[in-house]
Amino acid sequence: MTELRFVQVDAFADAPFTGNPAAVMPLDEWLPDATLQAIAMENNLSETAFTVPAGEGEYELRWFTPTTEVALCGHATLASGHVLIEGGEVRFRTRKAGMLKVRREGEALTLDLPVTLVKPTEDAALLRALGTPDAQLFLSWRGAEATAIILLDDAGAVRACAPDMRALRGIELMAIVTAPGDGGYDVVSRVFVPAWGVDEDPVTGSAHAALAPFWAERLGRDSFTAFQASSRGGRVECRLAGDRAILGGRCVTVIEGRYRL
């Protein structure tokens, strides 16, 4: 019998049961892909992050939803940093997103991600599936994974958005609905990824890697506060630094245990 460490972390969270939960499982070496996927399915969280040591303060990192491996996950990277950081910084080697860094800044952590740039486009089927037929649509491709930003008029429209999840399961992308914020936040958003096994993601770091340049241009400044208005909700401090998005937030450990395989 093999025992593996398991830590469940609420990322971009100021208190337990807010933000986005992620499982973090530090490994000594890689397990077969089928085993990693089975563990992620068993966890049934939006993401399970697996790490393997790759040098002092450095790890290889992979992310799995309950149904598939993904190219980039922000909140599970922040959660991994929360679990593994010992000094001021921890670095993660990834297969498709390059080197990612998590740094300690006071009581919070910052996550350094490559930005995602979107361009105006048209996709009537996507907008119908989201229930936003008259919205402005912007799209970007990162390898085989697409990111869509859907710009709505106000925060109320974002909160009221009621997508057809069955229709969205047939559209391979991450859909981000967003608008100017309310309640003291500059920006509000929600994120839907049914095609990747998660109907609505609670708080999405990779989505804010697209929202950072998108809203920096519209707000006329490089820093702003964002709120992802899922049922759990989460605050993300966003800063654009060249071709990187610096995302700040806190993490809370809620479960620690052992997997037995």
Q: Using H for helix, E for strand and C for coil, what is the string for 168-197?
A: HCCCCCEEEEEEECCCCCCEEEEEEEHHHC
User: What pLDDT score was predicted for residue 145?
Assistant: 73
Query: How high is the pLDDT of residue 141?
Result: 75
- The whole-angstrom separation of Cα 236 and Cα 195 is 24
pLDDT for residue 198 is more than 90: no
User: Tens digits of per-residue pLDDT, 208-238?
Assistant: 999 999 999 999 999 999 999 999 999 999 9
Catalytic positions are 47
Phi, psi of 193 (to 5 degrees): -140, 55
Share of the chain above pLDDT 90, in %: 92
pLDDT at 92 over 70: yes
Q: Residue 1 — pLDDT band, cuts 50, 70, 90?
A: confident
pTM of the entire predicted model: 0.90
Q: From CA 239, how far away is CA 219, in angstroms rounded? A: 12
pLDDT tens-digit readout, 121-178:
999 999 999 999 999 999 997 655 799 999 999 999 999 999 999 999 999 999 999 9
Quick one: pLDDT band at residue 90, thresholds 50, 70, 90?
very high
Q: What is the pLDDT of residues 40-76, one digit of tens each?
A: 999 999 899 999 999 999 999 999 999 899 988 999 9
Is 170 strand, coil or helix?
Answer: coil
CA dihedral (253, 112, 54, 201) positive or negative: positive
- pLDDT tens profile 28-42: 999 999 999 999 999
CB 3 within 8 A of CB 17: no
Tokens in use for 115?
């930005």
Residue, of 198 and 256, whose pLDDT is higher? 256
